[in-house]
Amino acid sequence: MRRTLAGGFELDDDRARIDVDAVHAFISEQSYWGRGRSRELHERAIRGSARVVGLYMGSKQIGFARAVSDGATVGYLADVYVLPDYRGRGLGLELVREIVDGGGSASDVRWLLHTADAQGLYSKLGFTDGPPLYPLMERGRGGGASVPSRDDAPAAAGAHPADTPPQQ
Ligand SMILES: CC(C)(COP(=O)(O)OP(=O)(O)OC[C@H]1O[C@@H](n2cnc3c(N)ncnc32)[C@H](O)[C@@H]1OP(=O)(O)O)[C@@H](O)C(=O)NCCC(=O)NCCS
């Protein structure tokens, strides 16, 4: 899938085109949820995801999102970002729309995500932030607690509950 957007931007789900260094740089240095992740972890995440979508301006990757999904019943949306210089022009919305409505049976799937502050974007695509259908439980990476104590979380105010620095 390759889709051209207004302004010459492009969405592409070609896994081989993903600029792993760009994804790693943003998420490990600028995101609130994956600071300190290793490049090798990102390589594995990209390889193991059901679908990865890059957002491009020419040869430069300026955004990213990935889906962890069985393609039939449930999907988890992860690592969504648009670089700061390109925000506020509808690109994030198109990126997420491509994941949840594009690609085969994506729209049949129940989509889940964690977000600290971008509910406004996701609500445009049908996500709700009411209580989940059933109570949500989490197990942190390595089998530990999902939510580290506040003393352990440098960015606690905006920390992503599923993937905060102490668990990398
Ligand atoms: C969240 C992010 C992907 C949005 O990208 P973007 O290209 O700026 O978003 P868009 O321009 O497509 O916004 C589409 C709509 O969602 C809304 N929206 C976007 N970001 C929002 C936010 N953080 N909070 C509330 N609403 C938001 C916009 O207001 C817009 O609605 P409008 O057209 O009615 O004004 C981008 O800000 C980003 O990369 N942030 C840092 C990483 C991050 O927080 N990712 C989400 C983790 S779940």
Rounded to whole angstroms, how far apart are CA atoms 111 and 73?
A: 9
Do 44 and 15 form a contact (C-beta atoms < 8 A)? Answer: no
Closest-CA residue, ligand 1 atom 31, reads 121
Give the chain's domains with CATH numbers: 2-167 (3.40.630.30)
Asked if the model's pLDDT at residue 105 lies above 70, the reply is yes
Q: How far is the CA of 113 from the centre of ligand 1 (A)?
A: 14
Rounded to whole angstroms, how far apart are CA atoms 144 and 81?
A: 27
Mean of the per-residue pLDDT values for the chain? 88
19-45 residue pLDDT tens: 999 999 999 999 999 999 999 999 999
Better-scored residue on pLDDT, 70 or 161: 70
Q: What's the confidence (pLDDT) of residue 104?
A: 79
Cβ neighbours of residue 62 closer than 8 Å, sequence gap 6 or more: 9, 55, 56, 82, 83, 85, 86, 91
Q: How far is the CA of 97 from the centre of ligand 1 (A)?
A: 12
State the average pLDDT over residues 123-134. Answer: 92
Closest-CA residue, ligand 1 atom 26, reads 120
Closest-CA residue, ligand 1 atom 7, reads 92
Q: What's the confidence (pLDDT) of residue 147?
A: 65
Classify 135 in phi/psi space as left (phi over 0), alpha (psi -120 to 50) or beta: beta
Rounded to whole angstroms, how far apart are CA atoms 159 and 139?
A: 16
Using most ligand atoms within 8 A of CB, pick from 55, 85, 87 the residue to mutate for ligand 1.
87
% of the chain beyond a pLDDT of 90:
74
Asked if the model's pLDDT at residue 152 lies above 50, the reply is no
Its sign, for the CA torsion 115, 119, 122, 126, is positive
